[in-house]
Amino acid sequence: MSAAEERLPQPPLITEDDLRKCRESGDYCPVLFEWYKYVGILCNIFACIRPESPALKGVPAEHFSVLVGLLNRAARLMHSNVALSHEGLFGETTGIIDRCIFESCVKVSWLCLKGNDEAFSRYIAEGLKTELEFKKKINENVTARGGAVLAIEKRMLASIERYIVGSGLSEGQIDAAKKLPDLAAMIDQLGHDRLTYVVGQRIGSHHVHGTWPSLRMHYLEEDKSGYWLPRDHNCPTHVNQYVFVLFVVLAALDSFFTFVCQDVSDLETFSNLLKSVRTEIQAINAKVVGKDFDHAEI
C-alpha cells in the first residue's frame, strides 16, 4: 500500500452476514448506502488537495478552483443525501440533488477532457453573463432615477464586481465568450451514448421541474374513487440512486486525477483505488439487478 493510500479512509467493511441479510430481504440499500458515504468522503478529501502539492502539475489557479469547487459541490450534495436518506425516505428530494451532482460531475469530466483556457473561460463566463445582465438592469434603474443609487443597489453592484474580479476575466471577455455546450453535447464528447443523457439529465429533470411523471412518482397517489390525491411522506430513496451517482462521481474523480497529476505512479495509485471501488459497487449492483437484463418475452 502506498503512502497516499495509507492516509485515506478505509472502505466500508461489508461482511458476508451483511450480504446475507440483504439477499434475504431483497434490499441492498444498507450496503450500498455505506459505499455511498465512502465515495462522498473520498470526493471531499480529493477536493481539498492543495494546488501546491508536488503530486500536481502546474494547473492554472482559475482552472484548479473550478474543478475543486465542482468536486466540493458534489461531495457536499452527497452529504446532504446521506443526511436525508439515512432512514430510507426523502426520495423526492434526493432525486433533485442527484440531478445536480450529475451535472457537476459531467462538467468536471468535460473540462478535464478539454483542458484548455477556452473551455474554462466559457464555464466561468456562463454564470457571469447573468451577473452582467443584472448589473445592466440596476444601472438602467439608477439612470432613470437621475443617478440616485439605493443602498441595496450599491450592495448588489459591489457583489457583482467581486464575482467578476475573482473570475480572472474582464467584462469584455465575459461578453465575448462562447456559450457553454449543453449537457447533451458534453456527454456526447465524453464518449457516452444518448442513454446517459436521458437517464442522468432528462429523467433527473422530472424531479427538478415537477413534471407529471414526477408528480405521479412522488407526490400523488390514486384513491379508490380514481382521484389522484396528495401522497404521504413515504417516498423511499431508490436503490439505483446509490449506484448511478457513485459511478458518475468516480468517473469525475478519475478525470480530475488524469488532468492534474504529473507523476504516473501517483495517477496509477488513484486510478487503481477508484477502479477497485467501482468493482465492489458493480458486484453488489449485479445482485440488485438480478435478471433485469435477461431477454424477456414481449
Model pLDDT for residues 117-126, shown as the tens digit of each residue = 999 999 999 9
Run of H or E including 38: helix 29-47
Among residues 95, 79, 102, the alpha carbon closest in space to that of 219 is found at 95
pLDDT of residue 114: 96
C-alpha cell at 108: 468536471
pLDDT surpassing 50 at residue 195 = yes
The whole-angstrom separation of Cα 257 and Cα 262 is 9
- Residues 219 and 205 sit within 8 Å (Cβ to Cβ): no
Residue with cell 436521458: 198
pLDDT of residue 298: 57
pTM: predicted TM-score of the whole model, two decimal places: 0.90
pLDDT surpassing 90 at residue 194 = no
Start-to-end C-alpha separation, the chain = 51
Q: Is the dihedral of CA 94, 100, 102, 108 positive or negative?
A: negative
Least confident among 4-8, 100-104, 233-237: 4-8
pLDDT surpassing 50 at residue 203 = yes
pLDDT of residue 2: 53
Amino acid identity of residue 266, one-letter, is D
Work out the pLDDT band at 204, boundaries 50, 70, 90: confident
pLDDT of residue 281: 94
pLDDT of residue 104: 97
Q: Which long-range contacts (CB under 8 A, 24 or more apart) does 210-214 make?
A: 214/92, 214/95
193: left (phi > 0), else alpha (psi -120 to 50), else beta?
A: beta
Residue with cell 445536480: 100
Least confident among 36-40, 256-260, 287-291: 287-291
CA 268 to chain centre: 24
Mean pLDDT value across the chain:
91
pLDDT surpassing 80 at residue 48 = yes
pLDDT surpassing 90 at residue 205 = no
Cα separations in angstroms, 291 against 20, 141, 279? 19, 63, 19
Work out the pLDDT band at 1, boundaries 50, 70, 90: very low
For the chain, the C-alpha Rg in angstroms (whole number) is: 23
Least confident among 36-50, 54-68, 110-124: 54-68
Work out the pLDDT band at 3, boundaries 50, 70, 90: low
Quick: pLDDT tens for 153-176. 999 999 999 999 999 999 999 999
The whole-angstrom separation of Cα 119 and Cα 113 is 10
pLDDT of residue 193: 82
How much of the chain exceeds pLDDT 70, in percent?
95
Quick: pLDDT tens for 142-154. 999 999 999 999 9
C-alpha cell at 142: 439608477
pLDDT of residue 8: 83
Question: DSSP alpha helices (H): ranges in 48-182?
Answer: 61-85, 91-114, 117-144, 151-167, 171-176
Q: Taking the CB of residue 23, how many other CB atoms lie within 10 A of it? A: 11
Q: Judge residue 15's burial from the number of C-beta atoms within 10 Å of its C-beta, 0-12 exposed, 13-18 middle, 19 or more buried.
A: exposed
